[in-house]
Each structure stands twice: as structure tokens, then as C-alpha cells.
Homo-oligomer: A and B are copies of this chain.
Amino acid sequence: MGLLPVANAVPAYRDEHLTIDFDRQVAELDATRIVLTRKEYDLLALLVQHAGQIIPRDVLLQRVWGYGAEIRTRTLDVHVRRLRRKLGGYADQYIETIFGIGYRFQPFHAPRYFRQPLKPAFAVGA
């Protein structure tokens, strides 16, 4: 008699502060539910499901919004901002901006992003 879609059970994401139940589409931060709108959830879920990987803007816009490369919009930035707010103080720990490329979700303890200088930059003195 199972009538509610419980078909494909995707394992939840969980770390020290954040839990995301992909089946129930529910997120918790420090054991308190954070209420996400659909787009917010979709975006967060996509990022978290690829934790540690940089996801380019155009991929996010394609997967969450269905937008093609020709569309110019700031809605991704705005949604990232709202997500970050809802992630409270851990926001920048979790969602990194990869300048010129896109965004990356990192588990709480993961090493942060540092851009690789193109030149070896050995000039120590100054």
C-alpha cells in the first residue's frame, strides 16, 4: 500500500552541521530544519550531490533552470545568496565561489579553494 514515492532511496548527506535528506527533500542545519523553496533546494541538492567538485555556472543554469548558454541572468547569484543566508554562519564554508567558473559545495572540514597562480610567483621580496 505504499503510495507515496519512496522508490529510489538516495543516501542522505550528513556532516557535522548539515544534513540533507534527498528523499524527503529536507535540509537541517544543526538539527534545525531549514525551509528551502524549490529552486533553492534544487540548487543546493545539485551542489551537495557533487560535493568537492566545481560546478560551472552554465552547468548549474542548465541543470536547475534548464537555461541554455545564450541566456544571461543573475538569478543564480541571487539564489546562491539566499542559500548562503539560510546556511547561517557556515555559509562560506560550504558554498565556495570559484571566480570566473562557478561554485563548489564543500563538506564542513574539506580544504578550501585557493586559486593556483599561473606564474610560479617566486618573487619573494615583494
Residues of chain A touching chain B, judged by Cβ–Cβ distance below 8 Å, are 3-5, 24, 32-35, 37-38, 50, 53-55, 59, 63, 85-86, 88-91, 99-101, 111, 113-116, 118-119, 121-125
Q: In whole angstroms, what is the CA distance A42 to B45 when docked? A: 31
C-alpha spacing A34/B90, complex, angstroms: 24
Whether B86 contacts A118 by the Cβ 8 Å rule is yes
- Contact between B4 and A53, CB atoms less than 8 A apart: yes
- Per the bound structure, the CA–CA distance linking A121 and B90 in Å amounts to 9
Residue of B nearest to A38 (CB): B100
Contact A35 B124, beta carbon cutoff 8 Å: no
Docked complex Cα distance between A46 and B124 (Å):
25
Greatest chain B CB density within 10 A among A35, A91, A99, A100 is at: A35
Most buried by B among A24, A85, A89: A89
The verdict on A55 contacting B4 (CB below 8 Å), with A37-B100, A38-B100, A88-B124 known, is yes
Q: Is the CB of A4 within 8 A of B59?
A: yes
Given A35-B113, A90-B124: A118 in contact with B85 (beta carbons within 8 A): yes
